[in-house]
Structure 1
Amino acid sequence: MRQKLMALAILATGTTLLAADTPVQTPETLPPAKYIVDWYAPPTDWFPAKEIKDYTLNTRVPDLFWLKYDGAYTLALRIRPILKEMLERQGAAKLVNTDGTGALEYRQDREKDAANRTIGVYKLDVPADDFIEVSFKAKNTARRNAGGNLTLNVDGLATLVTSKDIDKSTRCADGFTAYKVAITPGRGARLRSIAFTVDPATAPDFQQEWVILDFILRRAAPKARFTDIPRRQWIRTADFISNAAGLTASNGIGDVYTYIESAPAGVKTIPLPLEWAKRQPQATHFEAPEKYKPVRVKETINGKTYEGFRVTLTMGDGCYLDFPFKFDATVYNTISFLTRIDLPKDLKQIRNMDSGLKLHPAGLALLGDDYPRFYGTDKVKMNMHYDNFSFGLRSEKYDCEEWTRYGVCQGAVAQHWQRGSAAAPDGWKAVVFDALHDTYIGNKATYYADVSHWCFYYDTKKIPPGQTVTVTLLAPQTTSGLMLAGGDMARYKEFLDAREAWKPDYSDSRKLLEPPAEGRMQKALPIVRNHVPVSEIVVTYGTPAKRNQRVVDRAFERLNHLFTQKYGMTTNIPVLTAPSSANNTKIFVGGSHYAKVNKKQYAEDMAKLKGTDGYAVRSDGRNIYIYAAPFNFVADGRGLANGVYAWIMNNTDIVSVNIDVAEGQFIFEPVRDGNMTAVWGDAIRISPLVYRCGGHYHMTDFMGCTRNSVWADPTLGGTRPRSTNHWWGYGTEKNMDGSKAGKDGADTWGIDFDGNRIRPGCYTGHPCLVNVLENAKAAYIDTAFNKTSGESGYGIGDMKWRQIPQDDDCSFRMFDVFGLWVEDCQTHCHCEKCHTPIRLPNGELLKRPASIHSMREGDFLSTQFYANGCAMINQVNVYCRRDLRVESIAYMWMTEPPQFNISRNYNVRFCPYIRKDYMEPIFAPINDAFYRNINRWGQLDCHFTMYEYTLLFINSHPIADVLKLDLQAEIENGRLEEMFFEGGSNLLPDCLERWVSIQLMWDPGADVMKLRKHFIRGAFREAAPDMEKFFFKTFEACYRAGPSNKIEFEMEGQIGRILKMQPATDGKGGTLLDECTRHLDNALSSVRHPGSKAILEKYRAGWAKFLDANK
């Protein structure tokens, strides 16, 4: 790639950001207009002023609900007295002491304490020096034996009283009244809290209910909610090569199609052929070309005549045309053409591909000037719009599958149409696509260095009987010297330079299994002598709960289990709660013992460790000290366990291979004399991530990467989610057996295009988000109060490692996150309520467009869904636990931030698949859309986590080099808290990259090659030299001869094809595939270690199947 870019250049010449603050913006870094507003509305975290433990029958509580106001639905705030039934539930859960305290009684004297009558949003930190007024609409909907005033306090900036601050100039409906007061903040003012206080009640049987909407603080001028990365722009490739770090808006090319037409110096264009290959259809993916025979045409546009083809399309299995033409798309990377799609003038109905091709209103599948919603959207939906078609490139020689014939192409008219181009008037569209750097609408790439065909695809199944669609395509061409900038161009240039310089390291790796040079103690300490422990573990637990102590106990059990095998210990190293009088090495785990040795060092370490699951290991020359800070529900347990595992790994040659349970889980050399001396033990280590999960459950705990998130094991001390993976109810439980499916189904179920109820579920459909919310809030509260015995988690090896301590307690104590996922489902409710506009806090309306699977529809659906999640978690926060979170995946239509400030207790789990390029870093131009949204979410006041497909179907692909850069950028730009990997498809080939990836989660700056060599030496021992060649030859082939852009889900056969097309480098003839096989066979013949041999035998058997599949 580097050489190609240099050739183009020659041709051309002949910090951690706080969510409350927005950095300085330039025109190039302004986000879309929908995110630039002259108002601020706080996050949805409305809580009573009183802590939960202090609730009584005098307490007022908030909730959020969908209110239909003036023809639109708005997420309104309601303030009411707490219900006695809720206090009783809180008493049973030991949240409120209701036993003889009078909490269940109304007491008049409590009304004097305004905190009992106050709800607010607290602990804010928002710049307030540009606020000019605060306003809202409110209605007192229930009043008996209570005052009729509502007072708003904006943290000393303003006070509003409804009896006097009426805004008569603002029209209201439905009995609401508008209120407003001016704000004159001082310079540097900050907003810390917002609180509403209702008037006191005067009798026990009082009724009081306020409903509030349109609550905003008006700014003096519009302000962006966040700063974007620089806007995408077309540039000359030579500018990127010569000065990537200095690119500015001045380098941009405005109308790129017109620019290409002007034939500028240094930009060369080659016409693409119009003769198509007359192929027979394969299966039913497309019709024979004879049915849709293109006709050559000429059209004159703006006084210039263009040649092209026109194809008339009718209902069928699809029109697929491929045009043979060999070229190098790494040089000629820009594809452009003019097109026009003529639809029937009387097109009132269309065949809807989302509903079995039934007829529905035409607007459903017409994009107009909108973009298709490419985030996570499958190829059927990407090809469903009538005013759109797909196009792409393929390589007959190198591609393992002809994806374009299925309609899985790289480009689409609606995505890559250059809106506003002067070259395309009167219904014509100028389409320009950068094959190397543009946003893909499909999740398959091709081998761009050897393109054999360019392709056209239109899915004709959607065309109604008797109707025709006519597509005219003019002047297809490919151009060199241009590229579409995006992401972080300076970083991208550094990446390309590093990729070009990448080379394997075959140096001797045996010393990598020795204790690291950094972190060694001044004096080595004996642990085992002649198979007998000469040490003891002295543990001080940070929590009295036995179930939470288990996190640390598992580490001790693992230590003794491994040391018994490695050193032949005749008895376990004792685990005590107080030091014995024995003259031995004491390993103090937990507590403040080291403070007595070095108070200053201990204090410095604990200050750094605060709020993390990191650890410190120190020594005084006689004993070893492992300590950590309180972190989560297991106190310091997670950090202590991490410290123990690190101490094992850094003092021994033990490597967790993570292949499977039965064979080769841990590889190490037995020590025949039974002696073990600790050398390493002077370090502090803190991961920049709060949590880490490396996919697959086998002993990721040992590697300091707890299995958390989707499948939780509380004994690992990670996050404790409940029902995170899918929406299994939450208000839709009525009639979940489906007995009343159809038009008579449960009213919380969604409604499809034909008026039938949709069964809620991951792959079936969404509920009606308006109808379901009240039930959903109640279901969330029920979930929180329900007793649980824990969720069964995954373990390793024999059953004793699988046992999970159980505890009969409420879910809100046992879990940290409640899930609200809707994975892999874009079937939404189409009832009248879900097509009613959403009223934003400033009164503007967010309308749902007619077209489905469009970006504008995504705006509506995202705002609607996040609103429901906020209202649901708010009730759990109000009644059970203030810091319990809700988690949704930012995927498909939820990828982009909604148009309001969501709860600060929201876990937003960002999903960059399925169109992320995993062979290029997240900041590469091709990944711009994902990087842009990571940057946006990172500036909002919520919790940002990732759900990655990094290890899904990677097989033999290298991923760690790119992952290292991804982690660095995501931590910096997205304030990333947690990384979760989807499990691998094959643990044998991906074991290396999985192990390296987990180490990178602890230290994203680590040397990837060194980590790889460490693992290979540890896992394969004597066979390491050949296994290095096996892996590194494959990786090098992927980097040098693989597709320029590798989107995920590529087949393993792609690797086989690459290896078969490269000559062997070992001088023994054949292909690189033959050479890799020889290295694997050599490794198997040279290995002596029984654990390594078991792995290699299994690996070789898998390789045999791979070879058979790649004959």
Structure 2
Amino acid sequence: MNRKTLLALACSIFSSVGLAAEKTPAQKTAEWETYINAYQPDYSDSSKHLLPPETNRLEKPLPVVRGGRAAATINYSSEDGPAVKTAALELQEFIRRITGVTLPLRDSIDPRGETQIIIGKRTRDIAYGRKLFGEELRKLSGTDGYAVKNIGNRLYVFGETDKGTMNGVYALLENNTDLIFARPHKEFGTVFTQKKDLDFVWGGDVLEIPDSRARGWNGYQDLEWMARNKCSIFNGGGGGDISWMNAKKKNYGIFRQRHCYGHNIGHFIHSRQYFKEHPEYFSLVNGVRKPWRQYCFSNPEMRRVFAENALDMIRRAPEDVRILTVDMDDTWDACECEKCLAPVKTPDGMTITKEDPAFRSTQYFLFLNEVMRKINAEFPDWKIKTLAYFSTAVPPKCEVNANIIPEFAPYVRSNDKVPLFAPENVKWLEYLKEWAGKSKDIEVYDYHGLGLGFPRPLAEVRAKDFAEMHRYTQGMSSEYTHSGDRDSKGGSSKIWDYSAMEFWVLTRLCWNPAQDVEQLRKYFIRRTFREAAPQVEKFYGTIRSEWFRNKRASTIGDNPVELTKIILLEPGHENTLRAYLEDAAKQVRHPASAEMVKRLRARFEEQIAAAKAIKTPEIALPLLRPQGNVDFANPVWKGAAKIEAFKKCYAKQETPAENPSEVRLFHDSDNLYFYMTFHDAKIADIKRQNPPQGREKDFIPEADHIEIFLCDPLKDGIYYVFTADPFGTTAELQQYDYKWNGKWSVRCRTLKDRWEVIAKIPLKTINADNPKGNLLKGLILRERHAHGADKQREYSSWGGGNHHQTTTFGTLRLMR
């Protein structure tokens, strides 16, 4: 009986006797708010974290290195897989780094050593002869958990899986030394104390089973660090064949190898080969057939060719792989031909119309079910892994083939500061529960590895999320800084300098989300920063306290400089934090720790300087009383305030926009009025991009449009977005939430050399019908996309502010 079956049975029993009713999302949210409102960092002495755990100590120490010589041997069996051999080599290598002594490594049990460290389940005592530890193997079955057992001078480390054995070896190493795999950086990322003698004191009667079957990060560059912290997912690569990565992944115990990867659906009927002769295979978008926009799923010939090509890919796949990745293109675009917009009928007779939120998802999974059946006719044991993402994140209203593995992607989450069960995020939890009714083999593709250019304290929230997700899934992975923790061009070491703790704690929580997050942080800081730990604890603790106090929402798109301004500068923490880091630099002695303190100080000062350099514009809006209809010809615009030029967004220095824009603004005490003019010599080439079905009122085209951002003056961190294109397509959002429907009105027109928009936004819509509404933060941003022969793409705005980055917004002062 597996873990999920046991859990389901337990829940059933408890519910039937009334002992453990499931808490509602509202109850869980209330408990979360109570915890956060009372949060205080723990600055108690953390020296104990440099020592082996008090639990599971051996009855007597086992010598490993004594007096500069090996007192132990490492033994494994070649009958075990490559991950077991890797684990044995890793144990040998890190003991060498710590002691300077290389232990003998044997492909058999060597009785000559004082201590025999026996790795894996296929060694003689376990697989043959005495056949030890049958009960432990039964408990570990189907997991990558591990056991460590001691009999006399023999220390056994094993799992029911090779990866479980590897996890046990890393636990053995970490719990018998002061070593930590703090970050992947090859020069200083692993911290430990060198010593001449080494005894193992931990490893008595250990059996540990993770809360999930799989966990990790969607990156390949830092695979070793992931594996050393018990990850079993380390995917990476583009949309094509990534088999060249397989050997290393197997060596470190990957959960499931996949053939191909990424948003790769376009590779099955590649546009280079098929588009010229068969454009009908591809999606009709805004009246034009386009590649890399999914396919025309209603075309039976396309479906036949797709399945044939999928089979051809499998025939060429490595022999030991049994999962084919089929991921949709990274776009909402889908075919708009008449047949693809016609109602879909499911095998059980249900009719799904294009207005149904599950329409596209149902259409896609009916297609994928057909492909899976054709594959399984030739390859019965193969499966398809596919993203449940964008339109397919909504569970379909058809059955999903049991050999299809949905990878649920909750993108974009409204607020990373509150758990999945909170009102602004709960739709993703509801979707996941629905998916659990469709499939028993779900993984999660999440995004908690993004947005860490500033050390956002995500672990407290994600501990709650992981516990929820593990109930319905095999496990999860997250988007990741693909370029790896390296200093060379393109590397992401600066992100690690600031947020290594967050990556590490999040990784540990994936193994067991019930762990004490505060103690995990203390453990990481003490082992990583050594003598400087008390000061670094206070540095991060101050940031964490302010983060929880400030109720501004946060998402993966947050700018680190903006967060520095909001979380560090505006509350007045700069000098306090700098003093902690200066003291840390004085106290630290360990060379690896000193390097990380140095880098932490550099990132802090770099972002403080950038935050102080932010300059934003201000404009006074006159109070005017318009007569009649406020149209393009109304004389009221003559008295409006005027923004006469935009600047390029995301520019390192102020740069005027190449495409002129002007805005006139005023208010009438109840409403804001905008008259916006956007000049474009190639306006005739701008093509209308029609909203997908079901998104007519919340669609932002990947084409020319305007975005108005306005901050809520009463709710810190909340802002609203109003968008319009030259053809009157509009959307309104609360941050990234399309479900918000704010009242406003808009008129659009195109002229021979420009397009114009009039927008009227009631102050009540943005919560500004009050005295605090006299001072508003906002931004007007134009996206100009390539059209016709003109390939220029330019983002420009008032003052050069950037999408969603509120510290780059200007100030609108309403005159009274």
Taking structure 2 as the reference length, the TM-score comes to 0.66
Q: Distance in 2 between matches of 1:898 and 1:581?
A: 60
Aligned to 2:211: 688
* Residues 1:614 and 2:145 aligned together: yes
Tell whether the 8 Å contact from 2:344 to 2:359 is kept in structure 1 after alignment: yes
Deviation at 1:1021, TM superposition (A): 0.7
Aligned to 2:477: 980
Matches for 1:943-982 after TM superposition, within 5 Å: 943-954=441-452, 955-972=454-471, 975-982=472-479
Q: Distance in 2 between matches of 1:600 and 1:659?
A: 38
Aligned to 2:371: 872
Q: Distance in 1 between matches of 2:403 and 2:8?
A: 15
Deviation at 1:709, TM superposition (A): 3.7
Deviation at 1:822, TM superposition (A): 1.7
Q: Structure 2 counterpart of 1:618, which letter?
A: K
User: Any idea what SS the aligned residue of 2:358 has?
Assistant: helix
Aligned to 1:1098: 599
Structure-2 change in CA distance of 1:583 and 1:563 (3 Å): closer
**Any idea what the Cα deviations from partners look like across 1:342-395, whole Å, max 9, x if unmatched?**
xxxxxxxxxxxxxxxxxxxxxxxxxxxxxxxxxxxxxxxxxxxxxxxxxxxxxx
* Residues 1:679 and 2:202 aligned together: yes
Q: Distance in 2 between matches of 1:700 and 1:846?
A: 43
* Residues 1:847 and 2:353 aligned together: yes
User: Any idea what SS the aligned residue of 2:442 has?
Assistant: strand
Deviation at 1:597, TM superposition (A): 12
Aligned to 1:349: none
Aligned to 1:350: none
User: Any idea what SS the aligned residue of 1:925 has?
Assistant: coil
Structure-2 change in CA distance of 1:594 and 1:615 (3 Å): farther
Structure-2 change in CA distance of 1:694 and 1:752 (3 Å): closer
Taking structure 1 as the reference length, the TM-score comes to 0.49
Q: Distance in 2 between matches of 1:628 and 1:17?
A: 21
Among 143, 156, 165, the residue aligned to 1:640? 165
Q: Structure 1 counterpart of 2:393, which letter?
A: T
Q: Distance in 1 between matches of 2:345 and 2:58?
A: 63
Matches for 1:490-569 after TM superposition, within 5 Å: 490-543=27-80, 549-569=81-101
User: Any idea what SS the aligned residue of 1:929 has?
Assistant: helix
Deviation at 1:902, TM superposition (A): 0.4
Q: Distance in 2 between matches of 1:616 and 1:867?
A: 44
* Residues 1:1049 and 2:571 aligned together: no
Q: Distance in 1 between matches of 2:147 and 2:166?
A: 11
Q: Distance in 2 between matches of 1:1033 and 1:981?
A: 27
Q: Structure 1 counterpart of 2:351, which letter?
A: L
The structure where helix makes up a greater share of residues is 2
Q: Distance in 2 between matches of 1:824 and 1:919?
A: 26
Structure-2 change in CA distance of 1:766 and 1:989 (3 Å): farther
* Residues 1:655 and 2:163 aligned together: no
Deviation at 1:1050, TM superposition (A): 1.5
* Residues 1:582 and 2:98 aligned together: no
User: Any idea what SS the aligned residue of 2:523 has?
Assistant: helix
Matches for 1:741-756 after TM superposition, within 5 Å: 745-754=278-287, 756=288
**Any idea what the Cα deviations from partners look like across 1:5-41, whole Å, max 9, x if unmatched?**
xxxxxxxxxx9479999x99xxxxxxxxxxxxxxxxx
Q: Distance in 2 between matches of 1:715 and 1:834?
A: 45
Q: Structure 2 counterpart of 1:837, which letter?
A: P
Deviation at 1:529, TM superposition (A): 1.0
Q: Distance in 1 between matches of 2:116 and 2:361?
A: 56
Aligned to 1:1080: 581
Q: Structure 1 counterpart of 2:402, which letter?
A: R
Q: Structure 1 counterpart of 2:330, which letter?
A: D
Tell whether the 8 Å contact from 1:19 to 1:941 is kept in structure 2 after alignment: no
* Residues 1:1058 and 2:566 aligned together: yes
Matches for 1:684-1083 after TM superposition, within 5 Å: 684-694=207-217, 696=219, 697-698=221-222, 699-711=225-237, 713-718=249-254, 719-729=256-266, 731-733=268-270, 735-736=272-273, 740=276, 745-754=278-287, 756-760=288-292, 764-768=293-297, 770=299, 771-786=301-316, 810-811=317-318, 813-849=319-355, 856=356, 858-882=357-381, 884-954=382-452, 955-972=454-471, 975-984=472-481, 986-1043=495-552, 1045-1060=553-568, 1071-1083=572-584
Q: Distance in 1 between matches of 2:89 and 2:213?
A: 25
User: Any idea what SS the aligned residue of 1:1006 has?
Assistant: coil
Q: Distance in 2 between matches of 1:844 and 1:838?
A: 8
Matches for 1:54-453 after TM superposition, within 5 Å: none
Tell whether the 8 Å contact from 1:593 to 1:625 is kept in structure 2 after alignment: no
Q: Distance in 2 between matches of 1:18 and 1:909?
A: 24
Q: Structure 1 counterpart of 2:524, which letter?
A: F
Structure-2 change in CA distance of 1:717 and 1:816 (3 Å): farther
Tell whether the 8 Å contact from 1:615 to 1:642 is kept in structure 2 after alignment: yes
* Residues 1:627 and 2:158 aligned together: yes
Tell whether the 8 Å contact from 1:540 to 1:577 is kept in structure 2 after alignment: yes
Tell whether the 8 Å contact from 1:626 to 1:643 is kept in structure 2 after alignment: yes
Q: Which runs of 5+ in 1 are unaligned?
A: 1-14, 25-244, 248-486, 544-548, 630-635, 787-809, 850-855, 1064-1070
Tell whether the 8 Å contact from 2:150 to 2:203 is kept in structure 1 after alignment: no
Q: Distance in 2 between matches of 1:1110 and 1:592?
A: 59
User: Any idea what SS the aligned residue of 2:385 has?
Assistant: strand
Tell whether the 8 Å contact from 1:1022 to 1:1088 is kept in structure 2 after alignment: yes
**Any idea what the Cα deviations from partners look like across 1:304-362, whole Å, max 9, x if unmatched?**
xxxxxxxxxxxxxxxxxxxxxxxxxxxxxxxxxxxxxxxxxxxxxxxxxxxxxxxxxxx
Q: Distance in 1 between matches of 2:567 and 2:334?
A: 45
Tell whether the 8 Å contact from 1:961 to 1:1008 is kept in structure 2 after alignment: yes
Q: Structure 1 counterpart of 2:583, which letter?
A: N
Q: Which runs of 5+ in 2 are unaligned?
A: 13-20, 238-244, 482-491, 613-816
Q: Structure 1 counterpart of 2:368, which letter?
A: G
Would you say how many aligned residue pairs link Structure 1 and Structure 2? 573
Q: Distance in 2 between matches of 1:583 and 1:504?
A: 46
Deviation at 1:624, TM superposition (A): 0.2
* Residues 1:602 and 2:100 aligned together: no
Structure-2 change in CA distance of 1:705 and 1:1062 (3 Å): same
Aligned to 1:475: none
Tell whether the 8 Å contact from 1:1013 to 1:1028 is kept in structure 2 after alignment: yes
Larger radius of gyration: 1
Structure-2 change in CA distance of 1:580 and 1:946 (3 Å): same
Tell whether the 8 Å contact from 2:82 to 2:250 is kept in structure 1 after alignment: no
Q: Structure 2 counterpart of 1:667, which letter?
A: V
Q: Distance in 2 between matches of 1:965 and 1:1101?
A: 32
Deviation at 1:1014, TM superposition (A): 0.6
Q: Distance in 2 between matches of 1:514 and 1:826?
A: 52
Q: Distance in 2 between matches of 1:602 and 1:20?
A: 27
**Any idea what the Cα deviations from partners look like across 1:1022-1067, whole Å, max 9, x if unmatched?**
1111100111110110001341x3233212134322344565xxxx
Q: Structure 1 counterpart of 2:227, which letter?
A: D
User: Any idea what SS the aligned residue of 1:758 has?
Assistant: strand
**Any idea what the Cα deviations from partners look like across 1:984-1026, whole Å, max 9, x if unmatched?**
4722222101111111111111111111011101111111111
Tell whether the 8 Å contact from 2:214 to 2:233 is kept in structure 1 after alignment: no
Q: Distance in 2 between matches of 1:1002 and 1:598?
A: 33
Deviation at 1:1100, TM superposition (A): 2.0
User: Any idea what SS the aligned residue of 1:1058 has?
Assistant: helix
Q: Distance in 1 between matches of 2:360 and 2:325?
A: 18
Aligned to 1:133: none
Q: Distance in 2 between matches of 1:731 and 1:637?
A: 34
Structure-2 change in CA distance of 1:1032 and 1:766 (3 Å): farther
RMSD of aligned Cα (Å): 2.8
Structure-2 change in CA distance of 1:1090 and 1:583 (3 Å): closer
Which segment drifts farther, 930-939 or 815-824?
815-824
Q: Distance in 2 between matches of 1:526 and 1:840?
A: 66
Structure-2 change in CA distance of 1:892 and 1:593 (3 Å): same
